[in-house]
Structure 1
């Protein structure tokens, strides 16, 4: 009997990839905090998650199996510019370091939670396969 990993792993496999993409966006914001005219961005996690779990058509398949899809392409379309909370400082940069660091830490904790959930799923499957 074949194992269906989509059913076995649930949404955690998708959330891990999307959280990794969000970490890249947030770290880019932090790295460009002093860059004039840089506009802070963020990834809409809920929209990216909905798109990843619904298997929408129109996603470019560049993988070996028709059931595989590109998480990076899904999340790139959900990156949006952040509305600044602070007034313009004159250089046109919209990065608020406190907000970026807070969002990055929150995303890191949620990434680690997703890893923990996946580890639990794999541990359960390993126990089931070995008969423990």
Structure 2
């Protein structure tokens, strides 16, 4: 039986995604004045589309690809080299990055609260409901 129907695993993956996004945003902010720096972003959609495009129904031969070997992250970090906001070739929009950072912190904190709730429920069950 899977504990909490996989909820804890899903929360763990979401927390890893939020942590990676926080690291990328922080890196972008710290390089806001670096000449020719191009901002990174964490992209879930492109990783999902990439995985969906290569799916096969089943593997019946040892030469078929194993989907789990390459990368287990459900997101990808991509560099946005298509724009330039500053005269020095940099494309970090500090207002956008600060907004994304605040939004991501709220998301991360809500995940942590939900995870704490799951563990509190488990602790209550172990103690017999007290």
**TM-score for the superposition, normalised by structure 2:** 0.72
> Any residues of structure 2 matched to 1:24-35 within 5 Å, and which?
24-35=23-34
Q: What's the counterpart of residue 122 of structure 1? A: 119
Task: Return 5+ residue gaps in structure 2 as ranges.
Answer: 52-66
Measured in 1, the distance between the counterparts of 2:114 and 2:45 equals: 19
Is residue 33–residue 95 contact of structure 1 (8 Å, CA) maintained in 2? yes
Deviating beyond 4 angstroms after TM superposition, the runs of 4 or more aligned structure 1 residues are 46-51
Task: Please tell me whether Structure 1 or Structure 2 has the larger radius of gyration of its CA atoms.
Answer: 2
Structure 1 alignment gaps of length 5 or more = 61-69
What is the RMSD of the two structures over their aligned residues, measured on CA atoms? 2.7
2:11 corresponds in structure 1 to 12
Secondary structure of the 2:41 match is strand
Structure 1 distance, partners of 2:7, 2:76, is 26
Match of 1:79 in 2: 77
Question: Per the alignment, do residues 57 and 99 of structure 1 end up closer, same or farther by CA in structure 2, a change over 3 Å counting?
Answer: same
Deviations 1:57-112 (A, max 9, x none): 1146xxxxxxxxx6xxx26x60112354xx54321100000000000110010000
With normalisation by structure 1, the TM-score equals 0.71
Paired residue total: 112
